[in-house]
Chains A and B, each alone.
Chain A
Amino acid sequence: MDLYPPSGELGATLGRIRGLTLTQETAQHAVDLLARVTQETTPNAFGAGVSLIHHAQRVSVGATDDLVRHADDLQYGLGEGPCLTAWSSRSPVEVADTTTDHRFPQWSAAAAETGVRSCFSVPLMRGRDSIGAMKIYSMEPSVFGDADRARLASLATAASALLGHVQTSETTTRLSAELRESLRARDLVGIAKGILMQRDGLTESEALAALTLEARTTGVSFRRLTAAIATGIETP
């Protein structure tokens, strides 16, 4: 359905929606930077990665190198692994040695084959929601110490605060669809008000009051009532 000329509130509404939305590209840039900072501050780590997860699907991934990306891809391909579990259980997960850890048999075997021996992953929490996971990888078994674990936890807290504002593209689409629907409904009210003003010689607020009263007394939704008037099917 095409839009009628938008109302004066459009600017404010668009501003509100824009404020909520961080684009996918910005998110990608942010997770790449975070992965790099994590690696640079963790000498024991061969590589680091950050994943934003929505409905068990990865929406953005940042990785310091192809090996990390590959180890991460394996998790989502196989549907198991330390980061997926850190994300779903909302608690840190450590695989000290991929050749002896049997919690994620398929992933551990595949990761060991590429040379990844250990991994530590923490969830990214936004309030009570888990929005993703950060992880560090090493080619050596059992290399991560308490300092590494504490540092990653602190970085994850900062990352969560930043990335918590990222909206998935699905949310953006839903919001703009909602806005379009809302503007369309609003236009119908405007048209119905205009019809009543012209026909009954009412002021704008009198027309609105008449419509509100009509909706209340008939129990018809405002949307249906104004649509009926605007399309000339029904008159109050």
Chain B
Amino acid sequence: MIPFPYAEEQRALTNAAVVDAGFSVGEVWMHYFSLSGEVDEYEVEAYLEGLMVMPPIECDVLALAVNELIDGLPPRKRAPFSDELVRAHAGVDGAA
């Protein structure tokens, strides 16, 4: 395996992202698998826990999987502007 000097930093930050988003290892692995990830679920879990290393390309595919899952999370609620509410209500009344 080619040594990558920031492997541990990548692992720790990837794990932190998974924990922060509240994903299970199962769902992360399933998406990683769909992106052609080659490492088994148990090994991915062990990697995230810092118990073993994965080839750099697999670490990147896992990072991509985690980021795509994060991008798929529902966006935060946004505050409406007054004119948006006026338009929204006019639309409802107009239809009625």
Give A contacts to B, CB under 8 Å: 9, 12-13, 16, 178, 181-183, 185-186, 189-190, 193, 205, 208-209, 212, 215-216, 221-223
Question: What's the Cα separation between A183 and B33 when bound, in Å?
Answer: 8
Q: 7 closest Cβ contacts across the A-B interface?
A: A189-B36, A185-B34, A182-B34, A205-B57, A222-B35, A186-B34, A212-B60
The interface centre, meaning the residue of B31, B34, B57 with most chain A CB atoms within 10 A of its CB, is B34
From B64, which residue of chain A is reached at the shortest CB distance?
Answer: A212
Q: Which of B36, B40, B61, B68 has the most CB of A within 10 A?
A: B36
Report the minimum CB–CB distance from A218 to chain B (whole Å).
13
What are the residues of chain A within 8 A of B61 when measuring CB–CB? 208, 212
Q: Is B45 interfacial (CB-CB < 8 Å)?
A: no
Specify which chain B residues have a CB less than 8 angstroms from the CB of A182 in the assembled complex: 30-31, 33-34
B41–chain A nearest beta-carbon distance, Å: 7
A215 to B57, CA, bound (A): 14
Residues of B within 8 A of A183 (CB): 34
Given contacts A178-B30, A193-B36, 20 further A-B contacts (CB under 8 A): A9-B33, A9-B38, A13-B33, A181-B34, A183-B34, A185-B34, A185-B35, A186-B33, A186-B34, A189-B34, A189-B36, A190-B36, A208-B36, A208-B61, A209-B60, A212-B61, A212-B64, A215-B64, A221-B68, A222-B68
Number of A-B contacts (CB under 8 A): 41
**Residues of A contacting B71 with CB < 8 Å?**
221
